[in-house]
Homo-oligomer: A and B are copies of this chain.
Amino acid sequence: MAAGGSTRTDRPGTNGHAAAPTPPGDAPVRQASLREHNLGLVLRHVGAAPRPPSRADISAATGLTRATVSALVDDLIGGRLLTEVDPAPRTGAGRPAAGLVLAANGPAGLGLEINVDYLAACVVDLAGTVRHRIVHRADQRPNTPAEVLTGLARLAAAARSAAGAQALTLAGAALAVPGLVTDAGLVRLAPNLGWRDVDVPGILGDHPALSGTPLTVDNEANLAALGELHAAPPGPANFLYISGEIGIGAGIVLHGKLFRGARGWSGELGHVPVHPDGPACRCGSRGCLEQYAGQEAILSAAGLAGHGLSPDAAVAGLAELADAGDAAATAALTSAGTALGVAVAGVVNLLDVDTVVLGGVYAPLAPWLRPAVEAQLRQRVLTAAWSPVRVRPSVLGGDAAVVGAAGSVVRAVRDHPARWLTVLA
């Protein structure tokens, strides 16, 4: 893994591959960049088409000549970005033409996730299908960063093998971490892991499982929000994604794009004050949202902490109890939802988003959290009277960050196929 490849996802020109030769706005368009543009055009058209289009269909839709389309399609097939499939039978006259689909045996994205109580990896193909997924549940807080990353590299190695066995090639890897990440992939601070200034690319670069694979590192809530934005069905153009885990993060999507703030450290929802004089938080402050609505705070309020249950089993148990009408469980979830609603009301008053997506463990707990969140929003959001805020669970649930990470690699290939072809050549 090259150090230069350790950059954020979803930023043009920084996805770890060689930069495309894009001319400045007023320079003439060169032949090479025209080809790059048209490769992307054809690939996007196939990706978005409701059924496999023929070369003639693509020519008609894009305005490119049939000869140009054929040459581009041949390049994309050669680069394992497109595959020909049997034509659908036609009712009209003439020999039916072969249809084109995104290749199921071409480049894939490796998604990785470090969270407080689990590690995860997944492989997503060019069409966005999850082809491999593995979660290793274990509290990571007792481990050093190097130990955590060694554990993660093991999952990455298994994922690489699984990808290879399905004829997929990893175009890159993206890692989701619950903390503040710099452009160079340095984790400045991950309070719940106890990490400060951990050089993730520097450490992971030594592991053979990731050697030679461009790596990006990003905040887990940001990658989860991107996953949700590009899920099926896709997220709305404007939403606040809330990642409820042991820590609480947020990814802000505005006008269909991830909003990163001035320095890329936006979305620290877990440390928004709810009761300024409340209990002390790991971050050094008091009364932060995490103290009321973090996974451990909820389980503890419901009487489910300290029974030796795994966090996953405890969350599932909490949902079962709440479903059965258990008073302590429903009170704990209402209380957490109220605190969440207070913090989110402030965000909506500030940012004017109209949808809130409950992700992480909040997704399975949404039936009991949502009414309390909505009650606070109705009371506290200035625009709520004529423009109610929609609250809904995440489509991807607990997998949003790791699937979003893998998806960000695949989207970079789909957006810039010429770079992938250059890497292959």
Contacts of A273 in B (CB 8 A): 342, 345-346, 380
Interchain CB contact (< 8 A) of A383 among B250, B254, B265, B274: B265
8 A Cβ contacts from A178-230 to B: 180, 188-189, 191
Copies of this chain: 2
Contacts of A353 in B (CB 8 A): 261-262
Question: What sequence of 0s and 1s flags, for each residue 59-99 of chain A, a beta carbon within 8 Å of any chain B beta carbon?
Answer: 00000000000000000000000000000000000000000
Count residues on chain A whose CB falls below 8 Å from chain B CBs: 49
**Distance (whole angstroms) from the CB of A357 to the closest CB of chain B:** 14
Contact indicator A262/B271 (Cβ below 8 Å): no
Contacts of A252 in B (CB 8 A): 350
Add 9 more A-B contacts to A261-B351, A268-B382 (CB < 8 A).
A180-B383, A237-B262, A238-B262, A260-B352, A261-B350, A262-B351, A265-B383, A271-B382, A350-B350
Question: What sequence of 0s and 1s flags, for each residue 243-279 of chain A, a beta carbon within 8 Å of any chain B beta carbon?
Answer: 0000000101011000011111111110111111000
Contact indicator A352/B261 (Cβ below 8 Å): yes
Interchain CB contact (< 8 A) of A349 among B262, B264, B271, B284: B271
- The answer, yes or no, to whether A347 is at the interface (CB within 8 Å) is yes
Interchain CB contact (< 8 A) of A346 among B283, B284, B343: B343
Query: Which A positions have Cβ atoms within 8 angstroms of B?
Result: 180, 188-189, 191, 237-238, 250, 252, 254-255, 260-269, 271-276, 283-286, 288, 342-343, 345-347, 349-354, 379-383, 386-387
Contacts of A274 in B (CB 8 A): 276
Look across to chain B and name the residue whose beta carbon is closest to the beta carbon of A288: B380
Contacts of A261 in B (CB 8 A): 254, 350-353
Task: Tell me the complex Cα distance, A267–B349, Å.
Answer: 6
Task: Tell me the complex Cα distance, A352–B258, Å.
Answer: 14
**Distance (whole angstroms) from the CB of A109 to the closest CB of chain B:** 27
> Which of A271, A345, A347 lies at the interface centre, i.e. has the most chain B CB atoms within 10 A of its CB?
A271
17 pairs, A vs B, C-beta closer than 8 Å: A189-B383, A238-B263, A252-B350, A263-B354, A264-B352, A268-B349, A268-B350, A268-B383, A269-B350, A271-B349, A272-B345, A273-B346, A275-B275, A285-B379, A346-B346, A346-B347, A350-B350
Task: Tell me the complex Cα distance, A134–B74, Å.
Answer: 70
